Amino acid sequence: MAADAEVEVRNPSGLHARPAATFVRASAAFTADVTVTNLTRDAARSASAKSVLGVMGLAVARGHRVRIAADGADADEAVTQLVALIAAGLGEEIDGE
């Protein structure tokens, strides 16, 4: 089973080390293969959502749109939870909220 969704990164520093690690830890909870793509910078390049260096290498900044794609038994749940995590700021405060 496959699933994907897009979300805007809203936290002030984008996916730097700490939020990238939070995202990767959450991704690792799923058996599905999960990838992330920075649609704003380079829609042709994806990285494993289970690799901190891969996620950081996408250079995702505030305001960038990313696609979360998953393939596997828990793909729908993975995409839903990871999109919600990004939308909520990955544990960081979002200005004005």
Residue 10 vs residue 95, higher pLDDT: 10
Return the domain boundaries, the chain. 2-87
Q: Indicate which residues carry an active-site annotation.
A: 16
Q: Within 10 Å of residue 68's Cβ, how many Cβ atoms?
A: 24
pLDDT at 22: 96
pLDDT tens digits, 7-40: 999 988 899 999 999 999 999 999 999 999 999 9
Give the separation between CA 96 and CA 81, rounded to whole angstroms: 23
pTM for this model (two decimals): 0.93
Q: Kindly state the helix (H) or strand (E) to which residue 46 belongs, with its residue range.
A: strand 46-48
pLDDT tens digits, 47-92: 999 999 999 999 999 999 999 999 999 999 999 999 999 999 998 8
Give the separation between CA 55 and CA 74, rounded to whole angstroms: 21
pLDDT at 70: 99
Q: Into which CATH architecture does domain 2-87 fall?
A: 2-Layer Sandwich (3.30)
Give the separation between CA 5 and CA 83, rounded to whole angstroms: 7
pLDDT at 97: 56
Amino acid residing at 71? D
